[in-house]
Amino acid sequence: MARWNSCNLLHVAPDAKRLWQFDAKGGGFVLGREQRVPHAETLPGKFVAKSWTTLWQPKLNIAWLPPEHVFLRIVELPASSPEEMVAMAELQLEKISPLPVAQIVWTMHVLPVPKNAAPAEGTAVTLHTVVMVLVERAAVETFLGQLEAQNFLADRLEVPLLDQLGAVDATEDGAWVFPLHASGQNTALVAWYFGGTLRNLSLVTLPATGNGAADLKTQLSLLAWAGELEGWLTAQPKWHLVADPVTAAEWENALRTGLGEPVKVSAPLPPVELAARTAHRAATTVPPANLLPAEFTTRYHQQFVDRLWLRGLAAAGVLYAVLVVIYFCAVTLLGYRTRGVETQVAALGGSYTNALQLKARSEVLNERQQLKYAALDCWQLVAQQLPPEISLQRFSFSDGKKLSLGGVCSQDQISLISDPNKFYDGVRKAKQNGQPMFNPVSDSGDQLVYRQNGNQVTWNFGLTLQHVEAEAP
């Protein structure tokens, strides 16, 4: 039962279609909804159709076959595995089928073994009573076509008579008569229970004209004689009629008149309870015998998969279209904003160009001002640091940042320039406003260089300005 999340059961009655929806709860099915749909209307698709949610919430669709197309037979098979019992039942088809085997669909329902059941005569094997359900294939295909027109794709086809038989209290021997209204004929299914076991299932007809009671007696007498010949009818049966009050009034009178014996009348299972029993049996049957032809099961499954793919593609297409619309709306909005900004830029273009020109002029003037004071600061620094004994022959300030100094001195005066904390170090490490004036990391061309020429030494070095803005005097 854990496999199914819900179950829909459809009964195509003469007056209308009846649909029961059950929810799987507590190891069984609980009625969740009951609907009566006129034949002129289609079934509600949201309840019977399968969608994406069916993948994780499986739904079982069951339809009741009309009783006029169903043949029920009883066979006894030795206890075995379900697969072996199916194989043994298949071997019985040629003998019990009223139609060629190639023209029928069939299934089987194994009845529980009574507690006091004895083994088969001469063996130690317990026999199982099996109800064989035979239906003409053409009738099944026609019925499935009618269901497909209602958008109801059945997973199983079931016979409610099996569940009505399961409700019989067979504690006493007797015959149970179940009236059926099939194709306008007043027929009934007769179930013969003897020894706590269902022995035979037969159909009898109550004629609409003539002496119906006498004709009914003849049919039942022939069935009783057949039971006596087979050996299971060992006593006079007690008669039970299972019908609603309207139908029971007609059949009870015919049975009492024809048989001359008392008839016990009981009410059948309510349709909703019968539907719940069918749903539970269909969901728990092992193996899952089914009257639905295999080709229909395959086709319905393929249609379900194709429908999911088409809906998935349609949803993806709708999502793509929505994203495209959002994209174009965003592009349009951003384009509108861009045009507004471009309009503002165009309006500010003249003043912006003038501002750029004024900024450039200001930068040129500031640079000139800085260079002027930078050169003066460098000259002042050199004048302060230059020893009186040293002669300065070259003072060059180029590119606004390059200071080059050169001069001559005697050989014994070179220490005044090169020694630590003397002229070279004093100029190179000089500070202005607390910040170094020159770059402490000098290039190779900025190092102190001197050459001796006789008693005179020619020296020169260069420094790179840090571009410290000098304060105006």
Residue ranges per domain, the chain? 66-136+158-303, 374-464
Percentage above 70 pLDDT, the chain: 93
219 pLDDT above the threshold of 50: yes
Confidence grade of residue 473 (pLDDT, cut at 50, 70, 90): very low
Per-residue confidence (pLDDT) for residue 333, from 0 to 100: 94
Per-residue confidence (pLDDT) for residue 9, from 0 to 100: 94
Per-residue confidence (pLDDT) for residue 136, from 0 to 100: 94
Tens of pLDDT along 239-288? 999 999 988 988 998 899 888 889 999 999 999 999 999 999 888 876 66
| Closest among 190, 193, 214, 191 to 204, alpha carbons compared | 190
| Closest among 235, 98, 126, 250 to 179, alpha carbons compared | 250
Tens of pLDDT along 325-342? 999 999 999 999 999 998
Average pLDDT, the chain: 86
Distance CA 41, CA 17 (A): 9
Taking the complete model, does pTM exceed 0.95, yes or no?
Answer: no
DSSP string covering 172-211: S-EEEEEEEEETTEEEEEEEEEETTEEEEEEEEE--SSS-
DSSP string covering 67-80: GGGEEEEEEEEES-
Following CA atoms 20, 21, 23, 26 in sequence, which dihedral angle do they give, to the nearest 10 degrees? Answer: 0
Q: If you average pLDDT over residues 201-216, what whole number do you get?
A: 86
Sequence-separated (6 or more) residues with CB below 8 Å from residue 463: 402, 403, 405, 427, 428, 438, 439, 442, 446
How many other CB atoms sit within 10 Å of the CB of residue 294? Answer: 9
Per-residue confidence (pLDDT) for residue 329, from 0 to 100: 96
Distance CA 199, CA 193 (A): 6
Selected residue with higher pLDDT from 425 and 286: 425
Q: Is the peptide bond before 67 cis (omega within 30 degrees of 0)?
A: no
Per-residue confidence (pLDDT) for residue 320, from 0 to 100: 96
| Closest among 81, 75, 70 to 130, alpha carbons compared | 75
Confidence grade of residue 1 (pLDDT, cut at 50, 70, 90): low
Confidence grade of residue 416 (pLDDT, cut at 50, 70, 90): confident
Among the residue ranges 147-156, 314-323, 382-391, the one predicted with the least confidence is 382-391
Tens of pLDDT along 345-383? 888 888 888 888 888 888 888 877 767 777 788 888 888
| Closest among 191, 201, 200, 202 to 238, alpha carbons compared | 191
Per-residue confidence (pLDDT) for residue 472, from 0 to 100: 40
| Closest among 49, 92, 18, 28 to 279, alpha carbons compared | 28
DSSP string covering 373-392: HHHHHHHHHHHHHS-TTSEE
17 pLDDT above the threshold of 90: yes
